Amino acid sequence: MEQSGLSRGIRALWGVEERPRRGPKPTVTVHEIASVAMEIADGDGIQAITMAAVAGRLGLTTMALYRHVDSRSDLVAVAADAALGRPPATSRRAGWRRQVGEWARAELAQLQAHAWVLDVILEGPPAGPNNVAWMDSGMQAIGRTGLDPQSAASALLVVDGFVRSMVGQARQYGPGTGWARALASVVDPDEFPAVSTALEAGTFDDDEAFPSDQDVEFGLSVVLDGIEQLIAAGSRR
């Protein structure tokens, strides 16, 4: 009665499909498919997720996958949801700052373990169960601020944005391929004084482990302080 607007793979992840009465039982579940696709991406990046590769590992033909997912992009969506996993239980008794902080650090860890998730091109909001679980967990944490729902949602969005950008930056500036040196050879100090100065000062030199815990805590405290200000100002809006 509801076509639900969700893709086949996502619908299957939610487990709301009634099992068909006739016909052979499927030899694989969407969860298995998602899991295999995730492993492939963990190893070789998102573009390594191909219908043939995933099917092959499952002992199926390429086309058999289409019984479980609508398309490659559905397959990727399903893999991405699997990569998120369930959020850890939060310490419900703690204050909002600690809870939100924990949530952010957990998300960061999860995304860093599967950084290719950032490469997923999404059409529409993520609707997988794990995605929703993280959202729920985050909203519970930020709800402790007492902010009105709209403000809380926006604030959580800022936190999430920070985490994702952190992961993204980590991949880019992390394992230095001599980026700083390459840039130095083309940047004109007169045109780009600030960048040029930073380059000379070594600000961009390959931080072996970027972001360090320090970097994370730094940015996180900036964001959380901002939210604190907001609360103090009495959630207008």
Partner DNA sequence: CGCGACTGTGTACGATGTAAAGAGTTAATT
Partner DNA sequence: AATTAACTCTTTACATCGTACACAGTCGCG
Q: Which is nearer to DNA, 59 or 234 (CB)?
A: 59
- Collect contacts of 83-87 with beta carbons under 8 A, ≥24 apart: 83/38, 83/41, 83/42, 83/110, 83/113, 83/114, 83/116, 83/117, 84/110, 84/114, 84/117, 84/128, 84/130, 84/131, 84/133, 84/134, 85/110, 85/130, 86/130, 86/133, 87/133, 87/134, 87/137, 87/138
206 binds, among a copy of itself, DNA, none (CB under 5 to 8 A by kind): none
Based on the shown chain and the rule CB under 8 A, indicate whether residue 2 belongs to the binding site for a copy of itself: yes
Q: Tell me which residues in 173-202 interact with a copy of itself (CB under 8 A).
A: 173, 177-179, 181-183, 185-187, 191-198, 201
> By C-beta, is 14 or 66 nearer to DNA?
66
Q: Can residue 23 be called a binding residue for DNA (CB under 7 A)? A: yes
- What token pair was written down for 42? 């963990």
Tell the smallest beta-carbon distance from residue 210 to a copy of itself (Å): 10
Distance CA 202, CA 83 (A): 35
Minimum distance between the CB of residue 213 and a copy of itself, rounded to whole angstroms?
12
Instruction: Map tokens 């998102």 to a residue.
Output: 46
From 24, 43, 124, 234, residue interacting with a copy of itself (rule: CB under 8 A) = 124
Are 99 and 144 in contact by the 8 Å Cβ rule? The answer is yes
- Which CB sits closer to DNA, 47 or 165? 47
- Least Å distance, CB 37 to DNA, is 10
Residues that bind DNA (CB under 7 A): 20-28, 49-53, 55, 59-64, 66-68, 71-73
